[in-house]
Structure 1
């Protein structure tokens, strides 16, 4: 984790100087789907409701393509972790964009391997230039890595 925080701070400060770069926050709820064989999660629940919140930076690459790293704090029951997706965003039109990319995850209090790389896909509906609705799905690639659906709102500062 010591390497990742300076890396994200570097990205944040290096891209935040651009006049077209946008900085924002987001938060909402998540629904985590567990595999029945994942006994480390207690009584093997099928799903559990959680929460998330954090910051993002949106950097235009072209009119339709943007780069958007995020850093989010997430809680699922008694478990907490940091999720840092690195997205490429494609604007379908002025109201809808799609995001795709890997997410780096650091789990504070479960697993012996606390760092996991996952795949994220997200859709955003832009109500205005500053307010948006986010829907995201995260796919785990390891046996003990639950899949998560997120629903939240974002606000561009």
Structure 2
């Protein structure tokens, strides 16, 4: 699993290092709360939620002063259940140091599903504590069968 994450991070970094000079690359991570539909879940003891962690990289490409595009690649671990989450956000500054991020995400599930790629929608908000550090909260909505919804709480750091 680590080799997939390392390769994905390397690929994302390589693709976007040529990006405009008004872009920032960074890292983020935190805690993940995932909610399953009990009738459809098969994640061990028929659980309806799980707590795990996430971490990864992002690239913030500024379009203008208040708007940017922010792709990310995040590794998510919930006990033995692991996957990659790759959202592409439209990021808009709604108030001083407060951003709203919305966009689709492609998710690759390593071991659980036979159809390993799922499309979800991510809704997020981030508060910029400093120029380099932000605190964020994100909610991910799954549309397909057994695609879990998730709540993410964490920190991001621009390098």
TM (norm. structure 1) is 0.91
Distance 1:148 1:106 in 2: 15
**1:152 aligned residue:** 154
Distance 1:22 1:9 in 2: 11
**1:120 aligned residue:** 122
Correspondence for 1:71 among 70, 73, 91: 73
Distance 2:81 2:121 in 1: 20
Cα deviations by residue, 1:74-124 (Å, 9 ceiling, x for unpaired): 101111111100000000123100000000100101010000010000000
Distance 1:151 1:11 in 2: 27
**2:16 aligned residue:** 12
Change (3 A) 1:22 1:9: closer
- SS of aligned partner of 1:128: coil
Distance 1:48 1:39 in 2: 11
CA drift of 1:43 comes to 1.8
Distance 2:41 2:29 in 1: 29
Determine whether 1:102 maps to 2:93.
Answer: no
Distance 1:9 1:118 in 2: 23
CA drift of 1:42 comes to 2.0
Distance 1:150 1:93 in 2: 22
Q: Which runs of 5+ in 1 are unaligned?
A: none
Q: Which runs of 5+ in 2 are unaligned?
A: none
Dislocated runs of 4+, deviation >2 Å: 5-11
How many residues were matched structurally?
153
